[in-house]
């Protein structure tokens, strides 16, 4: 006879059942799927494989996908916790392992639960700029997402029939699951409502829990890396600063600030869309990158690299592919919101392009290299 | 059955791919601590605490239980998500645009709102009777 340990009978809430778990599971499956896809978009925008060319339009594409990733991820936290509370009694099932197959199944559930919690915790801490973990966030968050999605696929295959069975029939047991599910949805909604304004500026005033507020920062725009953090406070202030266009060009060009300002200036409204999920638009004024490259004489399919005065760091330089440098919206900005760039926004000159992660909008430029 | 096996293969490969990435590109030792540590904290600290609170709410009059539990779930979720902002460990002197708000105050106001909504809910329940 199988002996039930006394602990199982003590979970008195009837919400610990298949139907509650199924509905929460369906919602979680959707939100994890969205988080995985938007996460991949962000990853491969920053590290595109050779065959991949990201378009420069729509202007706000990355802003939307990354906003979904972060705000959707925050909204997933109550869902995940509710789902795991629902199935918590299963942790104490007896016997713990019935067979080799059952052991593998439980091992995979451990991977699923651990990966889901890991992504929530590291993601939340990362947007709060709290680097409590010794590993590099993006690498760990990226690779753990494959463990999560792999374990999730197996879990869905295993539970599919059960979910279909319980969701498709109307229960007649009088358990008020609806109130519980509404409450969980309300918790997710409350989290979203108090954070989404960091990327959707009409709701900025509601974003009382968001780590960023559009409109707060130098020239009313938030900053990710300050000049102090980048170590450029001296070099970026030098009066003899010049911008050089070099590499595979017909004419190597060098501009002083006065010469850059004498070129045709354009003003475009473009967002900084940060990987941490916040975004905010500014009115940027400067020279079109394509105008400079045409003056220097470059091939139409040239790869362009912009380089910062920063001494090191992974974002010291970034690649600008043809769709982006040919786009008339892509500027080497000198002004923001009607005033010369603040040092923290990349003065004397920064890149600003549509549909591009903020970390690749390289600041404190001094060289444009054509490859 | 064939699709089932194919999907198991896809899922298994993705897990292995992720594990390989962690081992070769991340720091597997500290990663494991956080990976397994999250489960231990969740299963043996967070959920037991929630269960204790659940048992305590069972002492309330039946009519109050659902609104109070709903309020606790929403308040708990907001507190959890807000906690790294409230602690504001990420603030840095060179960049005031990071964590610019008074998050402790935000959280107190939100929790007060939750209490207010719950109170109205309970009052309406009473008058409807």
How many domains, chain A?
A: 2
What percentage of chain A carries pLDDT values higher than 90?
A: 90
Decide if A328 contacts A288 (C-beta within 8 A): yes
Q: How far apart are CA A67 and CA A61, in angstroms?
A: 10
**For residues A256-264, average pLDDT:** 97
Name chain B contacts of A121, Cβ cutoff 8 Å: 34, 38
CB contact under 8 A, B100 and A216: yes
The structure tokens listed for B49 are 């605490």
* Sequential DSSP letters for B60-117: S-HHHHHHHHHHHHHHHHHHHHHHHHHHTTT--TT-TTSS-S-HHHHHHHHHHHHHHH
Closest to A146 (Cα-Cα) out of B24, B23, B13, B15 = B15
**For residues B1-19, average pLDDT:** 97
- Restricting to A residues 283-322, those with a Cβ less than 8 Å away from any Cβ of B are none
pLDDT, position A2: 46
**For residues A323-340, average pLDDT:** 97
B-chain residue closest to A208, CA distance:
B106
Asked whether residue A229 falls in the same domain as residue A354, the answer is: yes
Identify whether B129 is part of a domain.
yes
Q: Which of B35, B47, B76 sits opposite A118 (nearest CB)?
A: B35
Asked whether residue B32 falls in the same domain as residue B67, the answer is: no
Return the residue in A105, A154, A155, A191 with the most chain B beta carbons within 10 A, the one to mutate for interface testing.
Answer: A154
Asked whether residue B70 falls in the same domain as residue B127, the answer is: yes
Q: Which of B39, B90, B94 sits opposite A228 (nearest CB)?
A: B94
The answer to whether the complex's ipTM is over 0.90 is yes
Asked whether residue A168 falls in the same domain as residue A285, the answer is: no
Q: Which of A85, A130, A157 sits opposite B8 (nearest CB)?
A: A157
Asked whether residue A192 falls in the same domain as residue A271, the answer is: no
pLDDT, position A13: 87
Identify whether B51 is part of a domain.
no
Asked whether residue A193 falls in the same domain as residue A234, the answer is: no
Q: Which of B39, B58, B87 sits opposite A113 (nearest CB)?
A: B39
Chain segment B77-111, per-residue pLDDT in tens:
999 999 999 999 999 999 999 999 999 999 999 99
For A263, how many CA atoms within 13 A lie in the half-sphere containing its CB? 23
CB contact under 8 A, B12 and A150: yes
pLDDT, position A5: 52
pLDDT, position A277: 97
Specify the higher pLDDT residue, A63 or B128.
A63
On the 0-12 / 13-18 / 19+ scale of CB atoms within 10 A, B50 is middle
Asked if the model's pLDDT at residue A315 lies above 60, the reply is yes
On the 0-12 / 13-18 / 19+ scale of CB atoms within 10 A, A116 is buried
Asked whether residue B35 falls in the same domain as residue B72, the answer is: no
Identify whether B94 is part of a domain.
yes
Closest to A20 (Cα-Cα) out of A156, A151, A183 = A183
Return the residue in B4, B35, B45 with the most chain A beta carbons within 10 A, the one to mutate for interface testing.
Answer: B35
Alpha-carbon dihedral sign for residues A38, A43, A49, A52 = positive
Asked whether residue B38 falls in the same domain as residue B76, the answer is: no
Identify whether A212 is part of a domain.
no
CB contact under 8 A, A213 and B15: no
Chain segment A111-170, per-residue pLDDT in tens:
999 999 999 999 999 999 999 999 999 999 999 999 999 999 999 999 999 999 999 888
Identify whether A130 is part of a domain.
yes
The structure tokens listed for A93 are 């099932």
Tell me whether the omega of the peptide bond preceding residue A95 falls within 30 degrees of 0, making it cis: yes
**For residues A211-238, average pLDDT:** 96
pLDDT, position A322: 96
| A113, A116, A152, B43 from A109: Cα distances, Å | 6, 10, 9, 13
Please, what is the angle between helix B2-25 and helix A137-168, to 10°?
160
**For residues A236-259, average pLDDT:** 97
Which residue has tokens 């500027």?
A: A331
Domain of residue B11, residue span: 1-42
How many domains, chain B?
A: 2
Return the residue in B12, B84, B93, B108 with the most chain A beta carbons within 10 A, the one to mutate for interface testing.
Answer: B84
Asked whether residue A237 falls in the same domain as residue A188, the answer is: no
Kind of pairing between the strands at A242-247 and A365-370? parallel
Asked whether residue A339 falls in the same domain as residue A222, the answer is: yes
Specify the higher pLDDT residue, A3 or A209.
A209
Could you tell me the CATH number of the domain that includes residue A86? 1.20.950
Identify whether B52 is part of a domain.
no
- Restricting to A residues 204-263, those with a Cβ less than 8 Å away from any Cβ of B are 208-213, 216-218, 222-229
In this structure, the dihedral spanned by the alpha carbons of residues B124, B79, A121 and A272, taken in order and rounded to 10 degrees, is 90
Q: How confident is the model at residue A6 (pLDDT cuts 50, 70, 90)?
A: low
Q: Please state the separation of Cα A135 from the chain's center in Å.
A: 18
Name chain A contacts of B73, Cβ cutoff 8 Å: 78, 82, 183-184, 186-187
Last residue of a domain, one of A206, A237, A257: A206
Q: How far apart are CA B17 and CA A270, in angstroms?
A: 37
Identify whether A228 is part of a domain.
yes
Closest to A361 (Cα-Cα) out of A302, A259, A280 = A280
Return the residue in A119, A152, A153, A229 with the most chain B beta carbons within 10 A, the one to mutate for interface testing.
Answer: A153
Contacts 24+ apart (CB under 8 A), A344-350: A344/A217, A344/A218, A344/A223, A344/A226, A344/A227, A344/B95, A345/A218, A345/A219, A345/A221, A345/A223, A347/A236, A348/A236, A348/A241, A348/A257, A349/A243, A349/A257, A349/A260, A349/A286
CB contact under 8 A, A91 and B43: yes
Name chain B contacts of A190, Cβ cutoff 8 Å: 74, 77-78, 110
Last residue of a domain, one of A175, A206, A237: A206
Q: Which of A78, A139, A227 sits opposite B25 (nearest CB)?
A: A139
pLDDT, position A295: 97
Asked if the model's pLDDT at residue B120 lies above 80, the reply is yes
For A283, how many CA atoms within 13 A lie in the half-sphere containing its CB? 6
- Output phi, psi for B58, to 5 deg: -65, -15
pLDDT, position A366: 96
Question: What's the gap in Å between the CA of B61 and the closest CA on chain A?
Answer: 16
Sheet holding A304-308, edge to edge: A253-256, A242-247, A365-370, A304-308, A317-320
Asked whether residue B88 falls in the same domain as residue B35, the answer is: no
Rg (alpha carbons) of chain A, rounded to whole number: 25
Identify whether B53 is part of a domain.
no
Cβ neighbours for A21, distance < 8 A, ≥ 6 positions apart: A83, A86, A87
Chain segment A266-288, per-residue pLDDT in tens:
999 999 999 999 999 999 999 99
How big is the CA angle at A69 (ends A273 and A144), to the nearest 5 degrees?
A: 120
Last residue of a domain, one of A186, A206, A226: A206
Q: How far apart are CA B2 and CA B101, in angstroms?
A: 54
CB contact under 8 A, B78 and A118: no
Q: How far apart are CA B72 and CA A178, in angstroms?
A: 17
Exposure string (b/e) for A336-348, b if CB count within 10 Å is 16 or more? bbeeebbbbbbbb
Cβ neighbours for A59, distance < 8 A, ≥ 6 positions apart: A270, A271, A329, A354, A355
Q: Which of B14, B36, B58 sits opposite A150 (nearest CB)?
A: B14
Identify whether A67 is part of a domain.
yes
Write down the pTM of the prediction: 0.96
Identify whether B38 is part of a domain.
yes
Could you tell me the CATH number of the domain that includes residue A292? 3.90.420.10
Closest to A20 (Cα-Cα) out of A258, A182, A137, A239 = A182
Chain segment A7-47, per-residue pLDDT in tens:
666 788 889 999 999 999 999 999 999 999 999 999 999 99
Asked if the model's pLDDT at residue A1 lies above 70, the reply is no
Identify whether A2 is part of a domain.
no
Domain of residue A112, residue span: 8-206
Q: Is A232 helix (H, G, I), strand (E, B) or coil?
A: coil
Question: What's the gap in Å between the CA of A250 and the closest CA on chain B?
Answer: 40
């Amino acid at each position: 006879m199988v002996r039930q340990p006394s602990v199982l009978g003590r979970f008195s809430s009837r919400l610990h059942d298949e139907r509650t778990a199924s509905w929460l599971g369906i919602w979680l499956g959707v939100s994890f799927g969205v988080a995985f896809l938007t996460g991949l978009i962000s990853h491969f925008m920053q590290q595109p494989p050779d065959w991949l060319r990201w378009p420069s339009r729509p202007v706000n594409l990355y802003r939307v996908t990354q906003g979904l990733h972060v705000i959707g991820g925050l909204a997933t936290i109550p869902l995940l916790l509710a789902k795991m509370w629902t199935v918590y009694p299963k942790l104490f099932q007896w016997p713990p392992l019935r067979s080799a197959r059952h052991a593998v199944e439980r091992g995979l559930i451990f991977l699923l639960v651990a990966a889901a919690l890991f992504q929530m915790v590291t993601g939340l801490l990362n947007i709060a700029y709290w680097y409590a973990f010794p590993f590099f966030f993006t690498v760990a968050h990226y690779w753990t997402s494959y463990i999560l999605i792999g374990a999730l696929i197996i879990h869905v295959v295993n539970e599919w029939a059960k979910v279909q069975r319980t969701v498709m029939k109307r229960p007649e047991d009088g358990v008020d699951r609806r109130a519980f599910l509404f409450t969980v949805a309300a918790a997710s909604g409350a989290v979203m409502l108090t954070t989404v304004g960091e990327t959707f500026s009409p709701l900025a005033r509601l974003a009382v829990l968001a780590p960023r507020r559009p409109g707060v920062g130098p020239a009313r725009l938030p900053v990710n890396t300050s000049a102090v953090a980048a170590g450029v406070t001296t070099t970026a202030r030098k009066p003899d600063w010049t911008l050089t266009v070099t590499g595979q060009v017909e004419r190597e060009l060098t501009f002083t600030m006065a010469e850059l300002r004498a070129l045709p200036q354009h003003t475009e409204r473009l967002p900084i869309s940060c990987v941490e999920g916040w975004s905010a638009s500014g009115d940027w004024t400067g020279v079109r990158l394509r105008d400079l490259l045409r003056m220097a004489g470059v091939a139409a399919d040239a790869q362009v690299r912009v380089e910062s005065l920063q001494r090191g760091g992974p974002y010291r330089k970034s690649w600008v592919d043809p769709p982006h440098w040919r786009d008339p919206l892509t500027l080497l900005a000198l002004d923001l919101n009607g005033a010369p760039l603040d040092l923290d926004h990349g003065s004397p000159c920064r890149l600003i392009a549509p549909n591009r992660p903020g970390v690749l909008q390289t600041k404190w430029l001094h060289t444009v290299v054509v490859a | 059955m064939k699709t089932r096996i194919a999907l198991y293969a896809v899922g298994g490969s993705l897990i292995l791919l992720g594990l390989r990435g962690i081992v070769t590109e991340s720091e597997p030792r500290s990663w494991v601590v956080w990976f397994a540590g999250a489960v231990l904290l969740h299963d043996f600290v967070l959920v037991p605490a929630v269960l204790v609170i659940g048992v305590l709410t069972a002492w309330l009059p039946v009519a109050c239980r659902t609104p109070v539990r709903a309020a606790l779930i929403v308040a708990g979720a907001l507190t959890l998500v807000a906690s790294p902002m409230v602690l504001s460990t990420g603030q840095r002197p060179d960049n005031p645009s990071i964590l610019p708000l008074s998050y402790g105050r935000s959280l107190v106001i939100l929790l007060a709102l939750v209490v207010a909504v719950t109170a109205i809910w309970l009052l309406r329940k009473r008058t409807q009777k």
